Structure 1
Amino acid sequence: MAIALLGLDAAQAQKPIPPAVPPRLPLTTVFQGDAKFYAVVAKAERENWRNLPIGERTIRIARELVGTPYINYSLEVDDRIESPVANLKGMDCWTYYENALAISRMLKYKPAPYKPQDMLQMVEIERYRNGVCTGNYLSRMHHLEEVFYDNQRRGYATNITSRIPGAQKIHREIHEMTVQWKAYRYLRSDPSLIEPMGRIEAQVSNLPVYHVPKSKVRDAEKYLQNGDICAITSNDPTGYTSHVGMIVRLNDRAYFTHATSDRDKGRMVIIDRPISDYVNGASKHAGIIVCRPNDVPASPLWQNNVARQ
């Protein structure tokens, strides 16, 4: 594929997976959608999705989630205690990609049988700084730019944006969570978190961020693969990104699959238009950032599984 022309560097050495820890909150609080979880896993096992490349595997799972209702603030489940959360009954744009990627990685990470806690471990690896939820709200990464940066640093993803022809470096001054802190349950409940959140936002503001401007996205489509995480950049000077979804290849085009809050699209997970059509369809969109996930290092449980057989 055309992506081979990008001259990607050798994959960064992967950091070990942090040990799994029990949820800090009741499982019924942090996990919703058991029936959907077991149905997707059963189909993946029947059709041997585990042996597919991670991007193909992730999109198979993402397709199973099409039609799921859109909901906001599904991660805000407590006033003080932070814990990995997954909800397969309703999701927003960010949790849609996280859910699909978490199940995809889980299938490769360890052998069956699978339980919700296994998915939550994969969510934790993606969502939390260094892959570890400390129980503190600030251990969660609240900005996609940091998620992409931190996961690449650990060898779990490659942000390919800067290698795509036409990419440009951009800079934003991020203040959203410190200015709009009353919109966030944990910050309302503990205002002492606002000042350290401001320091995090300053660090995120200074990350090296590239995007492909909307005028270059049509030409960039040929470099995009199934399962690529695609964030939409904004013209707002106070934030880098405003939306996120995944790429699915259809008819030699790179389509955008995402959880949309648009009422005219049903407020649900959909496979939308080609990404260039989507990003050029609104003046608020500036371009795209593309991050390509990797599988995480395999669990030693695979060796134990072979030994038992």
Structure 2
Amino acid sequence: MNNSHSPFISIIFSKNIFVILSGFLLFSSNVFSQIQCTAQDKNLVLEKLAYFKSLKQFEELNINETAVKVGKSFLGIEYVAKTLEINENGEDLVVNLHGLDCTTFLENVVVFSRLIKQDKLEFEDYVKALELLRYRNGKIDNYNSRLHYFSDWLYENEQKGLIEQKSKSIANQPFKNELHFMTNNRDKYVQLGDEENYLNLKSTEKSFTKRNYFFIPKEHIEDYESEIKSGDLIAITTNIKGLDIVHVGIAIHQNGRLHLMHASSKQKKVVISEKPLSEYLAPTKYQTGIMVAEILSPQKKF
């Protein structure tokens, strides 16, 4: 399940002030953008950026090939659920590379891949790119500004020009998307105990019904494997009432078949599925198929 956005120390960004407080990094700025990041995680981001900067081979790769290499650099990283549910009284931009769930793994692949193609490899660039991807209109505001439902994440990031959805062009199979899982289960989400958060999210959920979504039913995935590229984004759809997506990852072809690179709650780390994606999904009745999107390559910085 999409634990970070899903249903189921502090940094306030600044160029001027840098303080270590109780093992956490603290920045300050006039712009409202509060970030939670340990010193360990900031170092992990900097190490990752330095590593990517040192590899000249990325200049020869397209965005999908870059995404595969970035994804593989996370293989073996521990799976940790609900890494974004830290602040019960507000909303912070959480930076965490030492433990990933399925969504934060995918988000980091997208962020690092786009930064590499833009040649923007500073910590400040990373923070800005992560906020742009994770929040409605690219700006952190409150709990409801985070893109909790992954179909909403896909829609919003397509509007921003960061990704492009491919499910319609591949299979043209409509996906009925009526979202209310979170507000119908508000007791599962501490932040929804706040009436304003609850009402705001309920209003947002209603707006989703106006959108058209498409998917590839799992019994047809093998038929369309050639149209899904390594490095594409995969979102696994569900028939759970009021919910859209239960898991996400990165497409990767191995031995002539389509597999899934993902942060696995079962294996407790980032892995590549042993079975092809169609076989991986087949036994699970509540998993109905996939949505597919590709990362759009940004203009390089000059």
The residue number in structure 2 matching 1:307 is none
The residue number in structure 1 matching 2:116 is 107
- Give the distance between the partners of 1:254 and 1:268, measured in 2 at CA: 20
Name which of structure 1's ranges 38-47 and 241-250 shifts more when overlaid on structure 2.
38-47
Q: Which amino acid aligns with 1:33?
A: D
Q: CA deviation at 1:23?
A: 7.0
- RMSD over aligned CA atoms reads 2.2
The residue number in structure 2 matching 1:222 is 226
- Give the distance between the partners of 1:224 and 1:149, measured in 2 at CA: 19
Q: 1:140 aligns with which of 146, 162, 170?
A: 146
Structure 2 unaligned regions, length at least 5 = 1-14, 16-28
Q: Which amino acid aligns with 2:129?
A: M
Kindly indicate whether residue 124 of structure 2 is the aligned counterpart of residue 123 of structure 1: no
1:254–1:275 Cα contact (<8 Å) kept: yes
How do residues 177-256 of structure 1 correspond to structure 2 at under 5 angstroms? 177-188=182-193, 190-256=194-260
SS for the counterpart of 1:173 is coil
Kindly indicate whether residue 157 of structure 2 is the aligned counterpart of residue 151 of structure 1: yes
Q: CA deviation at 1:37?
A: 2.4
1:234–1:240 Cα contact (<8 Å) kept: yes
Kindly indicate whether residue 175 of structure 2 is the aligned counterpart of residue 170 of structure 1: yes
Provide Cα deviations, 1:211-236, integer angstroms capped at 9, x if missing partner.
Answer: 10111100111111121110001122
- Give the distance between the partners of 1:111 and 1:119, measured in 2 at CA: 8
1:175–1:201 Cα contact (<8 Å) kept: yes
SS for the counterpart of 1:155 is coil
Structure 1 residues 143 and 287, CA gap change in structure 2 (3 angstroms):
same
Q: Which amino acid aligns with 2:75?
A: V
- Give the distance between the partners of 2:264 and 2:298, measured in 1 at CA: 28
Paired residues, number: 272
Q: CA deviation at 1:185?
A: 3.3
Aligned-residue sequence identity (percent) comes to 27
Q: Which amino acid aligns with 1:269?
A: V
- Give the distance between the partners of 1:132 and 1:66, measured in 2 at CA: 29
- Give the distance between the partners of 1:175 and 1:195, measured in 2 at CA: 12
Instruction: Give 1 or 2: higher helix fraction.
Output: 1
The residue number in structure 1 matching 2:25 is none
The residue number in structure 1 matching 2:290 is 288
Q: 2:98 aligns with which of 89, 98, 101?
A: 89
Structure 1 residues 60 and 261, CA gap change in structure 2 (3 angstroms):
same
Q: CA deviation at 1:41?
A: 2.4
1:171–1:206 Cα contact (<8 Å) kept: no
Instruction: Give 1 or 2: higher strand fraction.
Output: 2
Q: What is the TM-score with the length of structure 1 in the denominator? A: 0.81
1:214–1:279 Cα contact (<8 Å) kept: yes
- Give the distance between the partners of 2:299 and 2:147, measured in 1 at CA: 21
The residue number in structure 2 matching 1:305 is none
1:229–1:291 Cα contact (<8 Å) kept: yes
1:74–1:91 Cα contact (<8 Å) kept: yes
Provide Cα deviations, 1:12-54, integer angstroms capped at 9, x if missing partner.
Answer: xxxxxxxx9767335535x852343233323322222254211
The residue number in structure 2 matching 1:259 is 263
- Give the distance between the partners of 2:36 and 2:144, measured in 1 at CA: 21
SS for the counterpart of 1:236 is coil
- Give the distance between the partners of 1:248 and 1:26, measured in 2 at CA: 32
Structure 1 residues 148 and 76, CA gap change in structure 2 (3 angstroms):
same
1:23–1:83 Cα contact (<8 Å) kept: no
- Give the distance between the partners of 1:209 and 1:32, measured in 2 at CA: 39
- Give the distance between the partners of 1:148 and 1:25, measured in 2 at CA: 24
The residue number in structure 1 matching 2:10 is none
Q: Which amino acid aligns with 2:271?
A: I
Structure 1 unaligned regions, length at least 5 = 1-19, 303-309
- Give the distance between the partners of 1:289 and 1:63, measured in 2 at CA: 22
SS for the counterpart of 1:85 is strand
The residue number in structure 2 matching 1:15 is none
Structure 1 residues 183 and 202, CA gap change in structure 2 (3 angstroms):
same
- Which 4+ stretches in 1 moved above 3 angstroms? 20-29, 296-299
